[in-house]
Amino acid sequence: MSATDGSPPAEAVCPSCGRFVGPADTCPYCGADSVRAPLFHTFRYVAVALALVGLAFLYAMARQSRPHPVRGAELTPPMHCARVRMEGVVTGVAVGKSGGVTNYLAITVEEEGEEKPIQVRAYRDTARRLVQGGAIPTIGSRVQVDGEVRFGADRRVYLVLHSPEDLRVLAPPSMDSAQKSRNKRSRRNRGP
């Protein structure tokens, strides 16, 4: 309403029939376009187009991004669910089956110079595809893993594989690394 005479502002009245239409873009009575500036209509379409371009750009950047290489000691709870890349030597492999079907795969990876090994896990379809494709690394193999960081209730860190392509064998086991792995495991089992 206008402050002086009590009539509604000009953009709230239909230019064709003269009735009050409020903020509507078209008159609900006669269907005519309101008096709003055409720039307002154009701005809405430009805003939607820019948003779609921005989403396409974000999608392209996400597809091109690569996991950040880290060491096991660098993993902290704020990194939960982050996608990272690690390299190390396989010191243990466990396959879990239920009813003859592979449901779980755990690979223990130890980095050079690190005391604490990291467990790499694959579940359901990823584990099945790794087993069926014969892509399970043997003890002593040097591997590169792209996985999602997870922290268990006991604060242990592990990585989760989301596809078989996230696990790559860089080098087959050498006699030295396999022997070192066996010696290290036997020392752990014997105790101090």
Tokens at residue 182, please? Answer: 């066996």
Q: What is the pTM of this model?
A: 0.60
How many domains in the chain? Answer: 2
**Domain edge (last residue) among 36, 63, 90:** 63
Q: Which pLDDT band, with edges at 50, 70 and 90, does 59 fall under? A: very high
CATH code for the domain in which residue 125 is found: 2.40.50.140
Give tens-digit pLDDT for 61-79: 988 878 878 887 788 888 8
Q: Report d(CA 108, CA 88) in Å as an integer.
A: 9
Give tens-digit pLDDT for 78-125: 888 888 899 989 888 888 888 888 788 888 888 887 778 888 898 888
The whole-number pLDDT of residue 187 equals: 47
Share of the chain above pLDDT 70, in %: 83
The whole-number pLDDT of residue 66 equals: 81
Q: What is the distance in angstroms between the CA of the first residue and the CA of the last residue of the chain?
A: 88
Evaluate whether residue 1 is within a structural domain: no
The neighbour count for residue 21, using CB atoms within 10 Å, is 23
The whole-number pLDDT of residue 191 equals: 45
Evaluate whether residue 149 is within a structural domain: yes
Q: Decide: residue 140, CB within 10 A, 0-12 exposed, 13-18 middle, 19+ buried.
A: buried
pLDDT at 185 over 90: no
Q: Which domain holds residue 45?
A: 10-63
Do 90 and 45 fall into the same domain? no
Do 80 and 53 fall into the same domain? no
Q: Which of 70, 80, 62, 82 is nearest to 144 (CA)?
A: 70
Q: Decide: residue 95, CB within 10 A, 0-12 exposed, 13-18 middle, 19+ buried.
A: middle
pLDDT at 176 over 80: no
